[in-house]
Amino acid sequence: MLKPELSATNFIADLFDGVVIAFSKNGQVVFYNHMAEYLFDGLSVYKTLDDLLSGDELSVLRHNLNIAFFQQQPMDFYWMHKERLYLVAARQFVADVFLCLRDITEIRAQSDLLRTCSRRFNQIEQLSQIGYWELNITHKTFYWSDGMYNLFNLSKQNKNYHHNIIRHFIHPDDIDFYRQSLRKLLIHNQAISGNIRIFTDNNVMKICHFSAAKIMIDGEESACGIMQNITDYCRTDELKSLTELAHSVKQQIQAIKLFSDSLPFDTGSQIRNHIDITADLLDQAVKKSREDNSEQYIDVEVFLPEICREFGAIAQVKGLKLICRISPMLIRGDKRLLELILRNLLDNAGKFSKSKIIVANSSNSIWVADDGCGIPASEQSKIFSCYYHGKNSCGWGVGLAMVCNAAKQLGAEIALKSRPNHYSIFRLIFSKK
């Protein structure tokens, strides 16, 4: 049954849980173990490949045997036999070639299933803009899915597996909330969720929902969670209105605080005026869906001085000079919208101005100018987009989007002229009716 020089290997070959079979150069069987008998029907020494196989099974095996004899170096290949997949290792020994065959049908099926699941998971992450992460609490190592890298516009080369780099991309106003949430998760074992703003690697702001919990993975305590980009969802009319309302109310509250904390004289009437404005904003938001806003004529010579008096006090507190140059002008439209526009433009001017702000008008336009840091040309086409966050801004990126939307409702347009490190001029231009 065996060549004399191969008899010593019989016992060792039978210990192998796979198939072992050896062929001579002329294609005859010179050795096999007991597992080979189950694979090849009628197997015996000196039988040839033609006696054992036919068709594609024969041609593939013969082709790879010829290569193994010719190259005289180890080689591996796949081989299908009776609808089973085998991984074949070919090794030359003396003048013969030994084949070690391992059935990997189930392993390959599981591998294909894993690849399919991974592909589907990646597709789900892309469609829903979700990223998944894990933290091994024992070893302090992180895992990020491809969705997390896409969410932050990062390459995998930038990832430190021992550091939570999410913290470096969170909006400054949301850092404390995120840290408190992580403390609840890691110390108090509480599941957490919430919304935060993040900045991608190319400085685009996104609103993300996060949730996380503790679990056991392979017997080790871990934390896992997801982050989902909900920026587009937040742009729906309903949520956008709520955000805009919050932005407007915040402006009023800030103005109230400045008046009450910084001015030594009695400001009761001004404070009451701000409170009335805030209450009116809330009331109008409730009534907005029930009734249409009626248009009216707005006398700019009366309207602008009221706005200037209010912001003049705020500018004084900040050490700024507010200059108003007003000429006769009548506008037909919603007074609330014009007020919303000017309050936002003046609020922004107050944040970035170095020494002065100018409010002026002509027969068909109103403009607000400041001598601040200006806006780079690369950002000027983006700042009116909702939730866009410029390099010099720390807000939600809502104000100028509100201004643009309100201007359209007034039948006007917003024009911007800016020179970095010198000035910015926002001009509200009304169409002639």
Query: How much is the pTM?
Result: 0.45
* Lowest-confidence region among 39-53, 146-160, 170-184, 189-203: 146-160
Q: Which is nearest to 280 in space by CA: 335, 345, 347?
A: 335
Of 74-88, 288-302, 337-351, the range with the lowest mean pLDDT is 288-302
Quickly state the pLDDT bin for 395 (edges 50, 70, 90). Answer: very low
74-81: Cβ within 8 A, 24+ apart: 80/56, 81/39, 81/53, 81/57
pLDDT of residue 292: 46
pLDDT of residue 170: 87
The Cα angle at residue 137 between residues 136 and 142, in degrees rounded to 5: 40
State the CATH class of domain 127-233.
alpha beta
- The mean pLDDT of 81-99, rounded to a whole number, is 89
| Each residue's pLDDT tens digit, 290-306 | 444 456 788 888 889 88
What is the average per-residue pLDDT within 254-275? Answer: 54
User: How sure is the predictor about 426, in pLDDT bands with cuts at 50, 70 and 90?
Assistant: very high
> Is there a contact between 324 and 315 (Cβ–Cβ < 8 Å)?
no
Q: Which two tokens stand for residue 211?
A: 């949730």
- Inter-axis angle of helices 399-409 and 335-352, to 10 degrees? 150
Look over the chain and give the mean of its residue pLDDT values, rounded to a whole number: 79
Report the side by side order of strands in the sheet with 356-361: 321-325, 356-361, 365-370, 423-430, 412-419
DSSP per-residue codes, 48-65: BHHHH--HHHHHHHHHHH
Who has greater pLDDT, 317 or 360? 360
Structure tokens at 86: 């085998």
Would you say domain 237-430 falls under CATH 3.30.565.10? yes
Residue 186 burial by CB count (10 A; 0-12/13-18/19+): exposed, middle or buried? middle
d(CA 249, CA 347): 13
Q: How far apart are CA 188 and CA 192, in angstroms?
A: 11
Tokens 């790879």: give the residue.
64
**Domain definitions of the chain by residue range:** 4-103, 127-233, 237-430
Q: How do residues 172-191 score in pLDDT, each as one tens digit?
A: 878 889 999 999 999 999 99
- Model pLDDT, residue 358: 92
Tens digit of each residue's pLDDT (9 = 90 or more) over 352-365: 899 999 999 988 89
Strands 321-325 and 296-299: unpaired
**CATH class held by domain 4-103:** alpha beta
Judged by DSSP in three states, 365 sits in strand
CA-to-CA distance for 352 and 374, rounded, in angstroms? 8
Mean pLDDT is lowest, of 120-124, 224-228, 257-261, 305-309, for 257-261
Instruction: Return d(Cα 207, Cα 268) in angstroms, integer.
Output: 39
Angle between helices 399-409 and 237-262 (to 10 degrees): 110
> Identical fold at 4-103 and 127-233?
yes
DSSP notation for 190-258: --EEEEEEEE-TTS-EEEEEEEEEEEEETTEEEEEEEEEE-HHHHTSHHHHHHHHHHHHHHHHHHHHHH
Q: How far apart are CA 1 and CA 394, in angstroms?
A: 84
Q: Which pLDDT tens digit goes with each residue over 58-76?
A: 999 888 888 888 887 888 9
Q: At which residue do the structure tokens 């890691």 appear?
A: 186
Average pLDDT over residues 217-236: 82
